[in-house]
Structure 1
Amino acid sequence: MLKAIQTRYKGHKFRSRLEARWAVFFDVAGIKWIYEHEGFVIDNTPYLPDFFLPEFGYFEVKGKPEYDGNLMQEFSNQSGELVILAFEEIPFLENGNGYLKVLSPNSYHEGGDLMFWGYNDMFLQCDGCGKITIQNEVYDTIKGNCCDGFREMSIEHALLTAREARFEHGEKPNT
């Protein structure tokens, strides 16, 4: 079984380089983050979210697109917070695709089926005031209702910096 390389960044020992790269992304984008803020027990299962983003909710980094959807949804329900899932590597946006799945509290259809609040979502920034929101890729040209800006812009520069971050041999990422 392959094991991720633990990585140090800003005084934290991350369980993987991918987690550390997301921390670089948050720093460059100006998103406040707390790493492994607090653990919880959900239906007798211990759970330690990767990040808490005070302005958004919980952020979970997954190296593979496999996760326990019921556990994640129940955690969102019980915490009353969004649970944002990011899969695999820091994304490229050249193809215009989103890169997040977002679960919101109590988001079930009447039939009991799990319903995602967002699919193929991404972090976007208002071109008027700079506020960062999470929106679906389809709506990335629609104003975020925060000021007189007219569209939400990609924060590709933060994704690029995170993708290029190197932690070996004492190097520090350019943030």
Structure 2
Amino acid sequence: MTAKNIQPIETRYKGYRFRSRLEARWAVFMDHLGLAWDYESQGYLVDGKPYLPDFLVRPDDKEGAFWLEIKGSFPTEEERLKVRGLAEGTGIRAFLYSGKLESPAPDLSHLDMTRYVGPHERDYAWTDDHGWDKSADRSVDWEVGLTPTAFLFGPRRARDDKSDFLWWAECTACGYVKISRAGQRAWCPKFDDLSLEELERRFGPLYPCFGHRTPRILAAYEAARSARFEHGESGA
């Protein structure tokens, strides 16, 4: 049997027919977190080729909607170019996510600013396997052994396409959910009327808090992994 003879099984969930069970599980994940989404809502021609993006996620916040493209493995250059073209053409930022349906790292809430940021400027080196890697003499200790989870493409073309530690995270001060670098909430639209000084007074220098392993986020991963679709709909 060759690889071309293997196809993902289509999965039905909430009235949608997903092209793969992995996509359906990410839909369960977002439902558990109360995030509104549309699946394959609109097709586009990107550089003259048809493209039907997976999810348009519509959180209720000032940052607006974002595209979420799900891949089961590290994306190819062609897949990256396609999603970059989608972001530039629609004016909506896009995540190309290939991370697993699990928390990507241990709890980091005990770190202070120095241990989180590190003493030196970061120095990244491109690798074919994971997009980038850290130089051994510059890595922050907690990042050693971790691999990137996603690409982020903005409406304006960046000079380089770099994968990153883009993790689902929750603001532990208000419960707002987004995809954030290294799970660090760092800034929340619910507190944009507060000064930096006030934010640090209330929540500390890493305001509001690390949130990639909150009970709610972990429960969403568990709900997505344990969802059963054999009879059509899933109660998660």
Residue 31 of structure 2 is aligned to residue 31 of structure 1: no
* Aligned partner of residue 153 in structure 1, secondary structure: coil
> Share of identical aligned residues, percent?
29
Q: CA deviation at 1:115?
A: 3.4
In the alignment, which residue of structure 1 is the partner of 2:178? Answer: 133
Query: 1:135, 1:70 → 2: CA distance?
Result: 22
Q: What is the CA deviation profile of residues 99-146 of structure 1, one whole-angstrom value per residue up to 9, with x for unaligned ones?
A: 33221121323xxxx234x61201211111111122111x62645363
Alpha-carbon shift at residue 78 of structure 1 (Å)? 1.0
- Within a 5 Å distance, the mapping from 1:2-151 to structure 2 comes to 2-55=6-59, 56-67=65-76, 68=78, 69-87=80-98, 89-95=100-106, 99-109=149-159, 114-116=160-162, 119-137=164-182, 140=184, 142=186, 144=188, 146-147=190-191, 150-151=208-209
Using the size of structure 1 for normalisation, the TM-score is 0.83
Deviation at 1:92, TM superposition (A): 3.5
| TM-score normalised by the chain length of structure 2 | 0.63
Larger radius of gyration: 2
Q: Is the 8 A contact 1:144 1:151 kept in 2?
A: no
**Alignment RMSD, CA only?**
2.3
Larger RCO (CA within 8 A; separation ≥ 6): 2
Higher strand share: 1
Distance 1:52 1:127 in 2: 25
After TM superposition, give the deviation of residue 30 of structure 1 in Å.
0.8
Shift of 1:171: 7.1
Which secondary structure state, in structure 2, belongs to the residue aligned with residue 93 of structure 1? coil
Moved over 2 A (4+): 91-101, 141-150, 171-175
| Contact 1:161–1:174 (Cα < 8 Å) also in 2 | no
User: Which blocks of at least 5 consecutive residues in structure 2 are unaligned?
Assistant: 60-64, 108-145, 192-201
Farther-moved stretch of structure 1 (33-42 vs 53-62): 53-62
User: Displacement of 1:152 after TM fit?
Assistant: 4.0
| Equivalences, count | 168
Tell me the amino acid that sits aligned with residue 167 of structure 1. F
Q: Distance in 2 between matches of 1:145 and 1:12?
A: 31
Any idea what the Cα deviations from partners look like across 1:31-61, whole Å, max 9, x if unmatched?
A: 1100100000011110000111123311111
